[in-house]
Amino acid sequence: MPVKWIPGSGWQANAYLVGEILIDAGILPMAVERYRDQIKTIILTHGHYDHTAYLAEIKAMTGAEVCIHREDANALISDAESLSFQFGGRPPMVVPDQILSDGDRIGDLLVLHTPGHTRGSICLYHEEERALISGDTVFPNGSFGRTDFPGGSTEALKRSLDRLVTFEVESLYPGHERPVTAGAGRHLIATHQCLRSYHG
């Protein structure tokens, strides 16, 4: 099942739709209103405000269940962990319906715990499509998410990238920037090499 890109605007992170699953909820509700009857589950790649700003509104509109890794669940109610104060907002104050762990499967998506940007960052891997929805763990062209926010760790991100480069990835769907829909494995390798070059 293909991944549909719902681009973020300004500071808002990208969102993606895979069947009945919406990944991330920083986009305006009107951007997903046409899919309101389709969306049954919302998966958050991590708890930062630019990925969760409209979670409460989208959950109310769709009735979808909210899923997040246990290490980032507190960010949904914490100003400090969500970084909401940097955006002039407040966290969504939503209690997740499902706590995710590494290796869980939601529909066609495999949950990969990839700490580094935050403690509870995850990527989602679609095996049939060889697609990686990477949140702020991996960006195109050798870039990666910051590790200097609360809960960030360069060492953890190194280990996460060591793992991700073992997956066969044809398309990359990052939290920011444009998706890469062909040959994305080289972007993943470039990120891995850049991280090791900058941080040893």
CA dihedral (178, 183, 188, 194) positive or negative: negative
d(CA 45, CA 34): 22
Domains of the chain (ranges; CATH) run 4-199 (3.60.15.10)
pTM exceeds 0.85, yes or no: yes
pLDDT tens for the chain, 200 residues long, are 689 999 998 899 999 999 999 999 999 999 999 999 999 999 999 999 999 999 999 999 999 999 999 999 999 999 999 999 999 999 999 999 999 999 999 999 999 999 999 999 999 999 999 999 999 999 999 999 999 999 999 999 999 999 999 999 999 999 999 999 999 999 999 999 988 887 76
Q: Are 22 and 16 in contact (CB under 8 A)?
A: yes
Element (H, E) at 17: strand 15-18
Residue 194: which of 169, 148, 157 has the closest Cα? 157
